[in-house]
Amino acid sequence: MPDFLAVHLSFLPIWAVIALVAAAAVAIVLVLHYLGFCLLKRLARGTESHSDNIVVRKLERPSRWAVGMLAIVAVAAIFPALGAIWEGIGAFVMPFFIGWTVIAVLHALVEVMILRNDDSMADNRAARRRRTKLAIFNRIATFIIVFVVFGLMLLAIPGVRDIGVTLVASAGLAGLAVGAAAQPALKSLIAGIQMALTEPVIVGDAVVIADEWGWIEEIRTTYVVVKVWDERRLVVPTSKFLDETFQNWTKTTAQLLGTIMLYVDPATRLDPIRRQFEKLVESNARWDGRVKHMQVTELTRDAIEVRFLVTAKDSPTLYDLRCDIREALIQWLAREMPEAIVRSRIAPVAPVEIAGPPSGEVLHQMGTTNA
């Protein structure tokens, strides 16, 4: 015990002195920590960027515990009795707080990078690619850090360390058993890493999988969440995107080309329909100005199949544009060209006279002829 403490606190037992000094040291560093982060928050709010706000918020809690642990370490260096106790406890708790701090720093950096990749623009594929990679690698790195920290904490327990040394002798059989049992999970984990590298889908892509159309809402290490158009969520294993065929409508760009099918009477004049279609498309704000085209794709006995091609900036906008044009064309045909509506034609047929049974004279003549 230092001399000044021995003089002024000699009336207290040693354990009370240690507890009092440790409490005072922790209180002092926590007050300093609070004042320091108040200053950092004020400075962060004074800047235009939100990145420093994220870093300060993420580091506040783990750093508070870290400085508290450092205060106890400093007191343990002064009092050998506390040092002997802390030597056993510190080896167990310090990896936890170090890992917590590292994860906090990692998440703060990832959030800052995601914030800098704005995906609110129309053609946002590049930003969505970077966001997807950051999210996947963030989860993988977090898993690795947690695994290492958990292992270090277990090694700090003497009994567990002895058990681990004993299990090393049978590690071969145990590895085979664990590998066989964890094969699906390991397959999904490896598939998640492979998805981050090959990018068959990224967050925000419009896909058709399992006969469902929706958007990639979230990519986890072992599964992908697809937001279906009717607000349902489809949870799909990551391996499904690597082993099976699916449609990705926004693989290279968010812009899409869509079709509108219309069936009209074979006697219909098509030029007025073409002019009305172009007028409707050009006046619709959802059209991106790239393609507007009308084609006759089929002719049958009862109808002409007309296909209209339109483009939009993304799949939801394209769907709404197709619905708008289809509805407007049907209304216009019903109002301006009702004769173009497909109808079934049945030609009148003259009645057929059915002769009655032959008379007796005719039968007599037939019998005479046969004879």
Domains in the chain, ordered, with CATH?
A: 3-116 (no CATH), 152-249 (2.30.30.60), 256-340 (3.30.70.100)
DSSP string across 44-108: HHTSS-SHHHHHHHHHHHHHHHHHHHHHHHHHHHH-HHHHHHHHHHHHHHHHHHHHHHHHHHHHH
CB 61 within 8 A of CB 101: no
CB 255 within 8 A of CB 311: yes
278-305 pLDDT, tens digit per residue, is 999 999 999 988 999 999 999 988 899 9
What is the rounded distance in angstroms from the CA atom of residue 16 to the CA atom of residue 19?
A: 5
Structure-derived torsion over alpha carbons of residues 333, 335, 340, 344, reported in degrees to the nearest 10: 110
Q: What is the pLDDT, as a whole number, of residue 125?
A: 64
The strand pairing partners of 308, in sequence order, are 260, 294
How many residues would you count in the chain? 371
The first and second tokens of residue 281, run together, are: 């498309």
Q: Give 232's contacts (C-beta < 8 A, 6+ positions apart).
A: 214
The strand pairing partners of 262, in sequence order, are 306
CB 255 within 8 A of CB 215: no
Structure-derived torsion over alpha carbons of residues 226, 227, 229, 230, reported in degrees to the nearest 10: 120
CB 214 within 8 A of CB 205: no
CB atoms within 10 A of CB 312: 24
Smallest CA-to-CA distance from 73 within 91, 96, 100 is with 91
29-45 pLDDT, tens digit per residue, is 888 888 888 888 788 77
Greatest C-alpha distance within the chain: 157
Is the model's pLDDT at 363 over the cut of 50? Answer: no
CA 61 to centroid of chain Cα atoms: 28
What is the rounded distance in angstroms from the CA atom of residue 354 to the CA atom of residue 89?
A: 111
What is the rounded distance in angstroms from the CA atom of residue 142 to the CA atom of residue 144?
A: 5
Give the least confident one: 174-183, 228-237, 287-296. Answer: 174-183
CB 229 within 8 A of CB 206: no
Is the model's pLDDT at 15 over the cut of 90? Answer: no
The first and second tokens of residue 12, run together, are: 């207290």
Q: What is the pLDDT, as a whole number, of residue 167?
A: 47
SS3 sequence of 270-324: CHHHHHHHHHHHHCCCCCCCCCEEEEEEEECCCCEEEEEEEEECCHHHHHHHHHH
Element (H, E) at 182: none
CB 213 within 8 A of CB 131: no
Give the least confident one: 35-49, 168-182, 194-208. Answer: 168-182
Query: Dihedral sign, CA of 319, 325, 326, 331?
Result: positive
Give the least confident one: 156-170, 273-287, 317-331. Answer: 156-170
pTM: 0.51
